[in-house]
Structure 1
Amino acid sequence: MPARRLKWRNRLRYWFDGTMDRGTPALIGWLGLASVALIAVVTILVVLLTNEDTEASGGWGGVAWMSLLRTLDPGTMGGDTGKPIFLALMLTVTIGGIFIVSSLIGVLTTGLENRIGELRKGRSRLIESGHTILLGWSDQVFTVIGELATANLGQRKPCVVVLADRDKVEMEDQIRALVPQSGRIRVICRSGSPLKASDLELVSPDTARSILVLPPSGADADIDVIKTLLLLNNRAWPATRPHVVAAVLDSDNVAAARLAAGDDALLVDADDIMVRLVVQSHRQAGLSAVCTDLLDFAGSEFYLKAEPVLEGSTYGETLNRYALGVPIGVCTSDGRVLVNPGMDTVIGGGDQMIVLAEDDLLIRLAAEAPPVVEAAIATPAEQEPRPNRTLLIGWNNRAAKIIDLLDRFVEPRSTLDIAAPEEPPGVTKAKRTNLKVRYRRCEPTTRSALEALDLGTYQHIVVLADDGVAPDHADNRTLLTLLHLRDIEVQLGDP
């Protein structure tokens, strides 16, 4: 018998502990039951033991109401009169109420603090539609948010959601500090790993307009991007799937990323684009400023515009069909992008025109073709191509690709000198078609070492950041090198 009683006692205690683990609602429920039990016991005792006081208080209901008031407010019993047993029972219910109300206030305070703490962690689920999701955290986040803020100036309540495995408050503070001109855009941060399906649900991907996968900081950035693309590609999407764009840092990982992303995602080879920009800017001064102006959202930018009235026309005929906007190419219905195609290219059904304009709302077809103005254009005299000399200051993992691409564009017998603290292995001995590569020892941040390179004999100078140190420190070293070069340029008088 004692063993059975002990068993039921343990079961009851286990059940009680289980209800207490359910958090603030369970604790409030138990305090409510304790209040009801206290009021009921006192009411029964008053009715059974003090008939006169019970009748004076209004019967069962009056006694219960008096007990409730004294439970909630101890000062209510200050004016009580009656027999000693009645006063003792009222004092009992008042003291019990003090403990219950105090416990209730403590439970509510703790629950509220826990809820605020959960909100600060950024673990609540988002309820938005038409928003843009940024998966991952890096220095690119601030640039992307700034460009999205400029691009959505004409939109109503634009929203950008950032999901990264970082503290929510820390992310919000950094965004406010580094993107002060956010315009009308709302930036919402959520703490979670983009590699987990449960965390991805926090940002409501089904109702998003687009998803951007950014490579995080670290050596395994592309691995995280590929994992995220696999998760997105294998997800059960609704009928309308958001547009997915991902950036890959290493060109060697593009094939694997494309396989993981599927056919619906767009991959950006950041390494290849950076190398091509460096090489093309080397060949044509000022090209980097042109690319920046075309690719950011300040001023004019590219838009895809469907023009059914142009179907059947040739691309040459469409060049004079716009009152506002300049066509530069065609995006075909099967996804091919044709920049400056042949003038006889026919615009097919479902094709979209690639138009350069200040805003998509300002693109407008002309009612009639503008008149043709004949003008004489002076053609500069052809100059014989000459080999050039290029100085490459510094070294990083993109340098070899830059040299290989330069070899395809420069004139034969051109030379490139690598000025770096250590000679890159095998670079100067490799056979190339047009470019001869040599090495000159140099510390890029030392003024005397730069002056010893005889900079006036070079037509082009390319400065590369050192990827062996932290990004901020690498930028500081590159800036110091550029300042030295600018000052030497002024003294030489040779731009």
Structure 2
Amino acid sequence: MSTGGGVVVVLAERDKEEMEIDISKLEFDFMGTSVICRSGSPLILADLKKVSVSKARAIIVLASDEKADQSDARALRVVLSLVGVKEGLRGHVVVEMSDLDSEPLVKLVGGDLVETVVAHDVIGRLMIKCALQPGLAQIWEDILGFENAEFYIKRWPQLDGLCFRDALTAFSDAIPCGVKDAADGGKIIINPDDDYVLKEGDELLVIAEDDDTYTPAPMTEVHRGIFPRMSDPPKFPERILFCGWRRDIDDMIMVLEALLAPGSELWMFNEVAEKDRERKLTDGSLDISQLVNIKLIHREGNAVIRRHLESLPLETFDSMHLLKTPLFILIRGLLRPSSSSETFSQNVFRTKIPNQFLYVMLLSARACGSVKCNKLLTSQ
């Protein structure tokens, strides 16, 4: 969409007119891009031919609204249909998966032609990162959105034979951050070694305003200095609260286990019976006995009921992160020395918040007289 002037074809098992009405309601600048809707099934070769799938520059297979295993099974069948197109495919295929465990099978069937994105898992990890580092969500929004700088991959033959460190200073309007290695089947290498030599066929991954706003300049002499030694800041125990339950909550716990300092606490506040939680976590391949850095503390309750919220130590909250599912509240600095106190930004994300989360936010702000929460992050 950002380049404009192209054609996007939507093939779905819905009425054509309904899809066109839904798209017309979007408040989005299509920048000259044409959107064509066709009613049909991606599982039927005749319908795939109807939309000239073999000529598509890229193919995106979206997850369905079914359960995770059913959605992934359908995605696998779609990939089989695409592989079976006799005319072959010109573009690559990106498949949205619902379960991380289904990813290898889809890659096995699709081969090098297919890339998979486990959106649910990726978003869960991003939300944890954003909650632990206030302000990071705005950075992701800028990079992954279409309003500001974006990622672009392009080949520059004039850079062949140069080291990656030279490419870093070759652009005044772009930031090189990776290489698409032609010799390794197009594998993306993020932040390669400075001595990596750009070979024929390699493409450079950069962050730039648009794909036509940057070009390499003649090499200039760089005066290199001695970088000062910088040590990582000390990590202190933190206390985090999960309100709600996600099917991949075991993965989120393992991410926190890797990021937090020893002595940290994870409070799990939801309506799932406490006796059932350990079974669900174990079914998700989480060995609670192997957790070293975090301790799980269970509380049963509903986040939209005031008296349930009042049972939590809300007066200690410094930062809150509201998710569609679950509500995620981060408590930072609760266990660190008073001399190491932090000042958090007062920025608030301007986004649409579901009524029930506004209700939760109001309840949590009034449940105790000394709530110290001064940062609210929301996402849908």
TM-score computed with the length of structure 2 as normaliser: 0.79
2:32 to 177, 184, 190: 184
Give the C-alpha shift of residue 337 in structure 1.
1.5
Against the structure 1 CA distance between its residues 484 and 365, is the aligned structure 2 distance closer, same or farther, given a 3 Å change threshold?
Answer: farther
Q: Which residue of 1 aligns with 2:277?
A: 425
Q: Which residue of 2 aligns with 1:255?
A: 104
User: Deviation per CA, 1:343-399, whole angstroms, max 9, x where unpaired?
Assistant: 1122122111111111111111123427659799897x8653211111111112122
SS at match of 1:365: coil
In 1, the alpha carbon distance for the partners of 2:199 and 2:157 equals 9
User: Deviation per CA, 1:258-302, whole angstroms, max 9, x where unpaired?
Assistant: 123222111112133122212212321122221121122221111
Give yes or no for contact 2:75–2:97 (8 Å, CA) kept in 1: yes
Q: Which residue of 2 aligns with 1:207?
A: 55
SS at match of 2:254: helix
SS at match of 1:364: coil
Q: Which residue of 1 aligns with 2:329?
A: none
What are the equivalent positions in structure 2 for 1:56-75 lying under 5 Å apart? none
Q: Which runs of 5+ in 1 are unaligned?
A: 1-147, 468-473
In 2, the alpha carbon distance for the partners of 1:212 and 1:442 equals 40
2:307 to 448, 453, 456: 448
Q: Which residue of 1 aligns with 2:377?
A: none
Give the C-alpha shift of residue 248 in structure 1.
0.4
In 2, the alpha carbon distance for the partners of 1:356 and 1:163 equals 31
Against the structure 1 CA distance between its residues 308 and 152, is the aligned structure 2 distance closer, same or farther, given a 3 Å change threshold?
Answer: closer
What are the equivalent positions in structure 2 for 1:165-184 lying under 5 Å apart? 165-184=13-32
Give yes or no for contact 1:249–1:270 (8 Å, CA) kept in 2: yes
SS at match of 1:267: strand
The aligned amino acid for 1:252 is D
Give the C-alpha shift of residue 460 in structure 1.
5.5
1:340 to 173, 186, 191: 191
In 1, the alpha carbon distance for the partners of 2:150 and 2:212 equals 12
Q: Which residue of 1 aligns with 2:200?
A: 349
Give yes or no for contact 2:42–2:48 (8 Å, CA) kept in 1: yes
Q: Which residue of 2 aligns with 1:5?
A: none
Matched, 1:225 2:225: no
- Between Structure 1 and Structure 2, the one with more helix by share is 1
In 2, the alpha carbon distance for the partners of 1:222 and 1:386 equals 40
In 2, the alpha carbon distance for the partners of 1:382 and 1:367 equals 36
Task: State percent identity of aligned pairs.
Answer: 31
Q: Which runs of 5+ in 2 are unaligned?
A: 327-352, 375-380
Give yes or no for contact 1:390–1:462 (8 Å, CA) kept in 2: no
The aligned amino acid for 1:434 is N
In 2, the alpha carbon distance for the partners of 1:161 and 1:491 equals 54
The aligned amino acid for 1:260 is V
Give yes or no for contact 2:310–2:367 (8 Å, CA) kept in 1: yes
In 2, the alpha carbon distance for the partners of 1:166 and 1:489 equals 49
SS at match of 1:289: helix
What are the equivalent positions in structure 2 for 1:98-247 lying under 5 Å apart? 148=1, 151-153=2-4, 156=5, 158-219=6-67, 220-238=70-88, 241-247=90-96
Q: Which residue of 1 aligns with 2:253?
A: 403
In 2, the alpha carbon distance for the partners of 1:340 and 1:382 equals 19
The aligned amino acid for 1:322 is F
Give the C-alpha shift of residue 487 in structure 1.
6.4
Against the structure 1 CA distance between its residues 493 and 425, is the aligned structure 2 distance closer, same or farther, given a 3 Å change threshold?
Answer: closer
Against the structure 1 CA distance between its residues 321 and 486, is the aligned structure 2 distance closer, same or farther, given a 3 Å change threshold?
Answer: farther
In 2, the alpha carbon distance for the partners of 1:305 and 1:202 equals 31
The aligned amino acid for 1:216 is S
In 1, the alpha carbon distance for the partners of 2:51 and 2:370 equals 56
Report how many residues are paired.
335
In 2, the alpha carbon distance for the partners of 1:425 and 1:266 equals 33
In 1, the alpha carbon distance for the partners of 2:367 and 2:211 equals 46
Against the structure 1 CA distance between its residues 268 and 486, is the aligned structure 2 distance closer, same or farther, given a 3 Å change threshold?
Answer: farther
SS at match of 2:172: strand
In 2, the alpha carbon distance for the partners of 1:290 and 1:303 equals 17
Q: Which residue of 1 aligns with 2:334?
A: none
Against the structure 1 CA distance between its residues 322 and 458, is the aligned structure 2 distance closer, same or farther, given a 3 Å change threshold?
Answer: same
Give yes or no for contact 1:395–1:464 (8 Å, CA) kept in 2: no
User: Deviation per CA, 1:194-224, whole angstroms, max 9, x where unpaired?
Assistant: 1111111221112222111111212222222
Give the C-alpha shift of residue 462 in structure 1.
5.0
The aligned amino acid for 1:234 is G
Kindly indicate whether structure 1 or structure 2 has the higher relative contact order, using CA contacts under 8 Å at least 6 residues apart.
2
In 2, the alpha carbon distance for the partners of 1:178 and 1:480 equals 27
Against the structure 1 CA distance between its residues 330 and 483, is the aligned structure 2 distance closer, same or farther, given a 3 Å change threshold?
Answer: farther
In angstroms, what is the RMSD of aligned CA positions? 2.9
User: Which of structures 1 and 2 has the bigger CA Rg?
Assistant: 1
SS at match of 1:327: strand
In 2, the alpha carbon distance for the partners of 1:307 and 1:487 equals 58
Matched, 1:331 2:180: yes
Q: Which residue of 1 aligns with 2:220?
A: 369
Q: Which residue of 1 aligns with 2:115?
A: 266
